[in-house]
Structure 1
């Protein structure tokens, strides 16, 4: 069994309130959840309206599949309007 986790720190561009942040974060999380076989959640910086910490996790018997899905999740996040990835850390065990 292979478990992969990607933790992303993101900047919310143009956000002036938690409502603006929630719109961008929800868009990114829903996009990943619906298109990929990954769990997704906001895991930190919930009170900061210009910063988001997101995590994605996947489990498989194939390491390559987990890596591929996490890479696709990053590409999907990069396409979300108003969301800029500052850094992303991938851990696969």
Structure 2
């Protein structure tokens, strides 16, 4: 069994309130969940207006599949015009670790 996750550090566009931040982050998380059928959530920096940390994770029987899905998710998030991807940290582990 392979477990992979990626954590995105995002800079949001013209956001001046937590309500405006939620209006950008919630649809992003929902779209990632729907499109890629995996777990996603805002996992940090909830109290900052212009920053968001979003985590995505999946489990698979094949390491190559985990890498391909994480690559696709990263490209999808990076292509969003309303935010800037500052960094993406990923980790892939096996149940043998």
TM-score scaled by structure 1?
0.93
Report what 1:62 is aligned to. Answer: 62
Q: CA deviation at 1:17?
A: 0.8
Q: Are 2:66 and 1:33 aligned?
A: no
In 1, distance between residues paired with 2:66 and 2:73?
11
In 2, distance between residues paired with 1:19 and 1:82?
15
TM-score scaled by structure 2?
0.90
In 2, distance between residues paired with 1:37 and 1:65?
13
In structure 2, list runs of 5 or more residues that go unmatched: none
Q: CA deviation at 1:43?
A: 0.5
In structure 1, list runs of 5 or more residues that go unmatched: none
DSSP 3-state at the match of 2:85: strand
Report what 1:82 is aligned to. Answer: 82
Larger Rg computed on CA atoms: 2
DSSP 3-state at the match of 1:88: strand
